[in-house]
Every structure is written in C-alpha cells, then in structure tokens.
A and B are shown apart, each in its own frame.
Chain A
Amino acid sequence: MPEIPLLDLLPSGLQTLTLILLKIIAIVTPLLLCVAYLTYAERRVIGFMQVRMGPNRVGPIGLLQPIADAVKLAFKELIIPAGANRFLFILAPIISLSAALSAWAVVPFGPDRVLADINAGLLYILAMTSMGIYGVIIAGWASNSKYALLGAMRSAAQMVSYEIAMGFALVGVLMAAGSLNLGEIVNAQAGGFGHWFVWPLLPLFVVYFISGVAETNRAPFDVSEGESEIVAGFHVEYSGMSFSVFFMAEYANMILISVLSSVMFLGGWLSPFEGVVSAETLASPLGSLLDSGFHWFVFKVALFLFLYLWFRATFPRYRYDQIMRLGWKVFIPVTLVWILVIGVAIAAGIGPWFD
C-alpha cells in the first residue's frame, strides 16, 4: 500500500473512502486517456490500411488531435429536440458511460492490483455490461425520432442475442478455472504459453471475442448505427458533449472487452515465457521484460484493440438477419457443445489445464 500524505489526519471511515476514491481516479483517468488515444489510433490505423495518412496536422504526427476533438465537442451546443423526453434524453448517455465504467471495478491489472476483489467478479461484469443496453434503448426512445428508435430496436435485439453466447463462453471459462474471481482465473492459467485457456477453449475464445465486437456495436455488427440506412441510429439526435459521452462509452466498452478477452483466455498479466526462461535470465535487465507484469497485460489488450480496428477496416457491414442467424444458430450451439466437451475434459483430467 503506497503512503499517501495527510491521509492519517482523517477519521478511519473517511480514510477508506478517500483511498477507494483515489483508486477509482487512478483507474478512470488513464482509461479515459486511452479512450481518447484509441480514437486517434483508430483513424491512423484505418488510414494506413486504406493507403492514406489519417489525422497528422494537430501537434507532432497528429498526436494532439484527440484533445482538439474533445475541446471542439465540449464547446458545441447541446440540442434537445422538440418533443423529446428531456430527463431521459439527458439520462441515456450517462447510463451508457456509467455502465461502461463500473465494470472496471473488478478488473485485475496485476496480482492483487484490483479495486474490488470480489468472488462473483465474472457475474458482476456480465451484469454491468448488460446494463449498457439501457443507454441505447432510452436514447432511442427519448429522442422522439424514428431513426433513433429503429437503431435502438436493432441494437437491443442484437445485444440481448449476443449476450447469451457471451454468457455461455464465460461458463466455459469458469468451468476451466473453477472460480468466478478474475484474479483466480488468471492464476489458473499460470505456467506459460501452453497453459493459457485459449487452447482448450479455442472455440469459446473465438465466440467470445466476436460476440464482444457485436456487443459493443462495432463494425461489422454496427447495424444500430448503420449510417447508410438509418443515419446514425440511436444517437442521431445527440450533439456536443452528450454525443461524445456515447462515443466514450463505446470506446471504453471496446477496451473492456479486450481486457476481459486477455484476462480470461490469454492469461492477463502472465508472461508467455513462464517456465521457459531460467532464473538467472530473469534477474538480468532483459529479464524484467520477459517476466510476468503489467506490460504483458497492456500488450495483449493492445493486440485485441488492433483486431477491432482491423475488423472495421476490412469487413462490410452484416445484414441484420445474418447477424441474428450467426448469434442464435451458430454461436450458441457451438458454445453449448464445447461446454459439454470441457465437462468431459475436466472429468478426464486432460492436459496441463484440468489436472
């Protein structure tokens, strides 16, 4: 526990409260910075994939672009359409962002580096991410606009469908790890590259990440925005800061899905060279890089975020009925079958994972 000056002057109840608040700030501030620079990375990466430059004017190689964007959005007028439900219209982006941020409470960044080390961590994350739908539905309904309502309907149906596949994929993870606690799930994958759950749970891993892309309404599953069909979907009536809050929630959710994929399938902060590298090498300067640590966590998350951007640059948008078919008729049967396979594998004690 780091020493914080002046903390001892407070009464003990307030001390805990201050400490928790400081921890929340320590998680949320870097997260929002990541969100800002993810938008920049997205525009640059997709730009290079499409053989153009992307934003490169504001600051060195365009690095100040997200800040310029934020300032621009903050100074735009907040328009509430006539006939809109004022209270719910303002509430919707707040729900979106708070649902996206609250799930971060149980994310482990390293051994014992977690805000709330609760037993039901996996369930908590499922419950909180499912709350995000309300932001979309309420936004669509409160806008008093047909396009917004259509977008909300599409995304509600889509998110409910993909949540089932996602939940089943997580059932596989909790069977393999024997725990709902995210820290223990990571610890169950200790022992190097071959011990990660991505190998025994490969189908679930694929289903989980693709469902995560669908759950965050990202391309190629972004029918709820569908700018060529329904203008911009649920947030068509939003402007200025209220629009940017939706935007932030979407990117925070992307980072969350990437974090969860790396924690549950790629061993979180664990190094792939565990058990391969000898103790002398670990003591050398290079060793700290090869050892398990926060940098591996960041690296894995960045890998998934890159996949998100790559998908967006590569795939055309799915048709709505094909999205539903993929969710219900492909993903759910695959996860159900694989849960059975895992059950057999656990009973038989196969491999380095289930012994």
Chain B
Amino acid sequence: MVEQLVFYALSGILVFAGSMVVTVRNPIHAALFLVLAFFTTAGIWLLLDAEFLAMTLVLVYVGAVMVLFLFVIMMLDVNSLVMREGFSRYMPVGILIAVLVGLEIATVVGASQFGLDIVPAPAHHGAGYSNIEELGSVLYTVYVYPFEIASVLLLVAIVAAIALTLGARRRTRKGQQPNQQVAVNRKDRVRLVQMAAERSDLETP
C-alpha cells in the first residue's frame, strides 16, 4: 500500500520532469529537470531492491555526467530564438516520428508483451539480501566475456578521446611544465650581492 503510493508519487514526478525536459524554454532548466528525472528513476529502482543500480545512477549520471552537461550549457550562448526557427515547418515530421517511436515502445513493452502475467513482478528479498553480491556473481561468471569486451571498448574510447585532444597540439605545446617549476632552486633565480650601503665615490656632507 505504502509502496504503491511511493511508486505513483515517484512516477508522477518522473513523467512531469521528463515532459518538462523537452518543453521548457531555458536549456539549463531542461538539464535540471533531467537531473530530477534521473533522481526519481533511482528511487523507483530502489523499490525494486536494485540498490546498486540506483546508487550508481545517482553517482554516475547525476553526480558526474549532468554536472559536465550543465558546465557546458552554462558556457554556451544558446540563442533559443534561432533554435525555434522553422518550428511549424518541422512539426509534421516531428509528430510522425514521435508517433512511430510511441508505437514501437508500446509494441515492445506494452501490456501484451510485458504484462504482469507474462513477466511477473520481482519478489521482494529479505533484509540479508545483497544486490551487489548477486550482480557481481553473474557479472564475473556467466557474463564475463560481454563484460570484458565492454570494458575494453570503454578503454579504447578513453584513449581515443585523450589522443584527439592532445595529438595535433603536442609539438607546439605552450602549457607549463610543473616539474620544472617545482624543481627550481633559489640560486637559479636570486643572486645575493654584497655591497656597501653607500657609494664610496660620493662626498659625505
């Protein structure tokens, strides 16, 4: 009973936030609504005993990806007037695509394919149940090859991203060399000179 109330409250917020992401004018507000959508999704996953996935969603998407998103959006000067140009011209195509996507979603996860009689609701586990342990035990045994391939792909992507930012500019690098800065000695920079406090060739009055 309480669980259902929580579920409907969370899904209500989720649907509201999701629709605001695409309708709201200000891109920063849209990004913040997306954050809200992620957060409520994490809440719904918690209801399914999937605490590891829920926390990872908050940690990765809310804590890192969306922060970088906001970072970029705040730097950009988004002119919403130019973006709204040709709205009526693109609308028929947009509606067609939206209807198609909606139909596809309905056929895949609709009641006929995904109803409670075909896919029963997952049973609740006791207090000693560890979602992380369950996930790890299948991830490193049954699905070890897909898991390894995915991680190698991610590694390749990281290396490629770093190479793209670095490659062309490496020879003409103007950046600072912190190891040289740290290794600086006092005697390289400062020379203490011993001299008389007064000029000797001047007559003192």
Contacts and interface: CB of A to CB of B under 8 A. Distances in A.
A134 B55 CA distance: 17
Interface stretch (B60-68, B80-88, B96-104): B60-68
Contact of A119 (B32, B35, B68, B131): B131
Contacts of A202: none
A133 B63 contact: yes
Nearest to A138: B32
B71 interface: yes
Interface string B113-147: 00000000000000000111000000000000000
A160 B132 contact: no
Contact of A123 (B28, B59, B64, B67): B59
A131 interface: yes
B70 A322 contact: no
A126 B59 contact: yes
A261 to B, nearest CB: 20
Nearest to B39: A131
Main secondary structure of the interface of B (DSSP, over half): helix
Interface residues of A, number: 29
A146 to B, nearest CB: 12
Interface stretch (A1-9, A149-157, A218-226, A296-304): A149-157
A163 B63 contact: yes
A344 B132 CA distance: 23
A148 to B, nearest CB: 11
B70 A156 contact: yes
B170 to A, nearest CB: 16
A120 B55 contact: yes
A325 interface: yes
A141 B74 CA distance: 8
A322 B181 CA distance: 11
Given A126-B59, A127-B58, A137 B67 contact: yes
A83 B82 CA distance: 23
Interface string A66-78: 0000000000000
B176 interface: yes
Contacts of A137: 67, 70-71, 74
A149 B74 contact: yes
B124 to A, nearest CB: 15
A120 B131 contact: yes
A160 B59 contact: no
B70 to A, nearest CB: 6
Contacts of B64: 130, 160, 163
Interface centre among B52, B67, B68, B71 (most CB of A within 10 A): B67
A130 B35 contact: no
Interface centre among B32, B52, B63, B64 (most CB of A within 10 A): B63
Interface of A: 13, 88, 118-120, 123-124, 126-128, 130-131, 133-134, 137-138, 141, 149, 152-153, 156-157, 159-160, 163, 180, 321-322, 325
